[in-house]
Amino acid sequence: ETMINQIAAGEVIERPASVVKELVENALDAGATRIEIVTGGGGLNLVRVTDDGGGIAEDELALALSRHCTSKLVQDIHDIRSLGFRGEALPSIGSVARLTIRSRTAQAPNAAEIGIEGGRASPVRPAAANRGTTVEVRDLFFATPARLKFMKGERAESTATSDVVKRMAIAFPAVRFTLAGTDRSTLELPATADNAEGRLDRIAQVMGRNFPDNALPINAEREGVRLSGYASIPSFTRANALQQYAYVNGRPVRDKLIAGAIRGAYADVLPRDRHAVTALFLKLDPALVDVNVHPAKTDVRFRDPGLVRGLIVGAIRQALAQAGI
């Protein structure tokens, strides 16, 4: 069992940022409105995520650590409302690190806690905590030293973690996110309204006021596929594409087709080595897109890639043209 979980961990947990992604997704699935992330040593020594969500009942703590055990119902594989549904993240992490879950539901008189180290779980014990869940991951990959060697150093791991949190935070503007670490990659993102205005405020919190100030609003629809968001004016560019944020049905994605469409849209107005800054949100019938191609990757598969590409290229070009660019 531990072996199987370690193999799964090899797929799902590539680095500290993957731990943060899984834990934050769980917190969001639990309905959290405040998510606090603390890291140490670039996340290799410590990742701790605390939420104010629904919590886990004491008698379900051990279940949360067993493989393919998920409390999230999957009625239709194409219509997944929860971010996670495989029941793989916690057992995987628990097989390669020291993991503690402390949780309390609204009904419970007190909190309870369980630990797992390199696949070995401890008995559930009473603990003190407010409603919600704290998951603490220490010494990531201590049980699989070969993987530790692939880590790029504290700085690079912190940057990757901060990037994951930013991507998620833009998708959930009404949730307060904080990220604190031992270096400068800290974030404090107060909750904003859960509407278009709130989303714009959150984008500005994450990317800086300069971005929406130097961007054109994008709004278009083709055959039931809706595109909204912001795309920078050609004078506001970056040397890499890291500041291109994309969402499909509210889920952060990093997708070649979308990146290619953005490049295509700016082909005539940007040199090849400059990249536009964008935050684009696609909404379409969930049956027309597969967002679960790979558990850890964030690429997607559209039923009609040409339609999506055409929509993005067309909408950005039209916005540029309307601005006289």
**Which entry of Mg ion, ligand ADP, none binds 94, CB below 5 to 8 A by partner kind?**
none
Contact 173, 193 (CB under 8 A): yes
What does the CA dihedral 15, 18, 19, 23 come to, rounded to 10 degrees? 170
Tokens 């270096």 -> residue: 183
Contact partner, 115, from Mg ion, ligand ADP, none, Cβ < 5-8 Å per class: none
Residue among 27 and 170 whose Cβ is closer to ligand ADP: 27
Quick one: 132 or 212, whose CB is closer to ligand ADP? 132
Residues 81-100 as x/- pattern, contact with Mg ion by CB under 5 A? ---x----x-----------
H/E/C letters for each residue in the chain?
Answer: CHHHHHHHHHHHCCCHHHHHHHHHHHHHHCCCCEEEEEEEHHHCCEEEEEECCCCCCHHHHHHHCCCCCCCCCCCCCCCCCCCCCCCCHHHHHHHHCEEEEEEECCCCCCEEEEEEECCEECCCEEECCCCEEEEEEECCCCCCHHHHCCCCCHHHHHHHHHHHHHHHHHHCCCCEEEEECCCCCCEEECCCCCCHHHHHHHHHHHHCCHHHHCEEEEEEEECCEEEEEEEECCCCEECCCCCEEEEECCEEECCHHHHHHHHHHCCCCCCCCCEECEEEEEECCHHHEECCCCCCCCCCEECCHHHHHHHHHHHHHHHHHHCCC
Kindly state the smallest distance separating residue 289's Cβ from ligand ADP, in Å. Answer: 20
The number of residues that bind Mg ion (CB under 5 A) is: 3
List residues near ligand ADP by CB under 6 A. Answer: 22, 26-27, 30, 51, 53-56, 64, 70-72, 84-90, 133
**Residue closer to ligand ADP (CB basis): 34 or 72:** 72
Nearer to Mg ion, 63 or 307 (CB): 63
CB of 26 to ligand ADP, least distance (A): 3
Task: Name which of residues 25 to 44 contact Mg ion (CB under 5 A).
Answer: 26
Query: Which of the listed partners (Mg ion, ligand ADP, none) does 279 bind, with a CB threshold of 5 to 8 Å by partner kind?
Result: none
Looking at beta carbons only, is 54 or 229 nearer to ligand ADP?
A: 54
The partner in contact with residue 252, picked from Mg ion, ligand ADP, none with C-beta cut-offs of 5 to 8 angstroms by kind, is: none
Instruction: State which amino acid sits at residue 86.
Output: R
**Would you count residue 6 as binding Mg ion (CB under 5 A)?**
no
Give the CB-nearest residue to ligand ADP.
84
Least distance in angstroms from the C-beta of 7 to ligand ADP: 15
> How far apart, in whole angstroms, are the C-alpha atoms of residue 132 and residue 178?
16
Q: What is the largest CA-CA distance in the chain?
A: 66
Query: Which CB atom, from 86 or from 222, has the smaller least distance to ligand ADP?
Result: 86
Q: How far is the CB of 237 from ligand ADP (least distance, A)?
A: 37
Least Å from the CB of residue 133 to Mg ion: 12
Cβ proximity to Mg ion, 80 vs 257, nearer residue: 80
Tell the smallest beta-carbon distance from residue 103 to ligand ADP (Å).
Answer: 6
Q: Which does 72 bind (CB under 5 to 8 A by kind): Mg ion, ligand ADP, none?
A: ligand ADP
Report what 71 binds from Mg ion, ligand ADP, none; CB cut-off 5-8 Å by kind.
ligand ADP
Task: Give the residues lining the site for Mg ion (CB under 5 A).
Answer: 26, 84, 89
